[in-house]
Amino acid sequence: MDPPLKDVRILDLGQIYQGGYCGMVLAYLGADVVKVEPPWGENVRTRNEDGKPPQYQYLNPNKRGITINLKSERGKGLLKELAAEADVIFENYGTGKMDELGVGYDTLKKINRELIYAHGSGYGDTGPYSEYPAMDLTVQAMSGIMSTTGFPEPPPVKAGPAVADFFGAIHLVAGIVSALYQREQTGSGQYVEVGMFDTIYPTLASPVASWVSETDTPPRTGNQHSGLSIAPYNAYEVEDGHVTIICIAERHWESLVRLMGKEELLGVERLSSKSKRAEHIGEVDGYIKDWLEGMEKAAVTEQLREAGVPCAPVRTIEEIVTDDHLEKRGMLNHLPNQSDGREDVPVPGLPIKFSGSDQPEVESAPLLSEHTEEVLAEFLDYDHELIDALDEEDVI
């Protein structure tokens, strides 16, 4: 069976992480994704001198790459011609930027009524924050991530990964795919927009629940549950690092207690339910810390898994990029590094699996303008003479 988005043509004007990952997922789903960059390259290319940083290679596989100078009138005209042949165009420039250039949705929909135009931004197109400049860090700060991450006493900290960028990207993918489905019913394209700020709010379920319940929960709870409503739920120190342990169901708690040799706790009223144990988090954690004294990660997690207790060691990036499970799931694709450093880049695969089609073969991210001539000839039937003229005019 063909991949889900076979024969869908997408112009990817995305940049940095939100745009890069959105286009990557769409490419893995089978779309012909053409990454459109300015002649000097998109923003993330500036993270090293040669314009081929690992981040770019990591997030732009399976795309074709072209360059267009949208500051030139001829470049704007070229984008319009390509949009007439495309199914989707998406970008994550500042709200209103493409309209200022004269190539926003209102312009392009007149050229192609079936075009789906998707825009990702920090705060969305409407509302009092819509014109605020935004990056992952600022959205993390505004959205509540930083105020709920870290321990109570030190300053708030951001989440390690660029969570706002990637939440924004995957919601943009969902919007694009939904619009494609709806176009099958209506024959018309539409405008899709996603604000990263909006995508974070649903993740605050636990701290918001504490606020609704008017419980005395600190804004930051370290590695404990963010609503302090589950115990045990923590990262516990062992001889060679830390392990995480969580008991969601009563059977988990009962198994853990037996494993620790503390069966007498099963008869203690104050620890007899999840909510009651949450009221005595310090006591519960104390029993576990005593049990873990002198133990190591591998032994602890093996025993807990055999007992059916949810757990995991706290692992390093070095362990993740060599992980056998990710390898077997097709999530680690070792492609030649185009820049300095290690020999290869462990490029992510597609997390979504389909019974009816194979996982995509992962190919290296395009070099800057690598496919410009190929795409213009294929989409617009341009010949070498015309393409050379555009090059001489610095349009491409």
Contact 371, 34 (CB under 8 A): yes
- 62: tokens are 């399976």
Can the peptide bond before residue 366 be classed as cis, meaning omega within 30 degrees of 0? Answer: no
d(CA 387, CA 382): 7
Question: Which amino acid, one-letter code, is at 72?
Answer: S
For residue 385, how many other CB atoms are within 10 A of its CB?
7
DSSP for 269-312? GGGSSHHHHHTTHHHHHHHHHHHHTT--HHHHHHHHHHTT--EE
Pairing type for strands 9-13 and 88-91 reads: parallel
165 annotated active-site: yes
Looking at residue 35, what DSSP letter applies? Answer: E
C-alpha count within 13 angstroms, C-beta hemisphere, residue 351: 4
What Rg, from alpha-carbon coordinates, does the chain have?
25
- 50: tokens are 């040669």
Which residues touch 102 (CB under 8 Å, ≥6 apart)? 76
Burial of 102 per CB tally in 10 Å (0-12, 13-18, 19+): middle
Among 125, 165, 344, 381, the active-site one is: 165
- 280: tokens are 């005595």
d(CA 197, CA 129): 10
d(CA 88, CA 96): 18
Q: Tell me which residues are annotated as active site.
A: 165
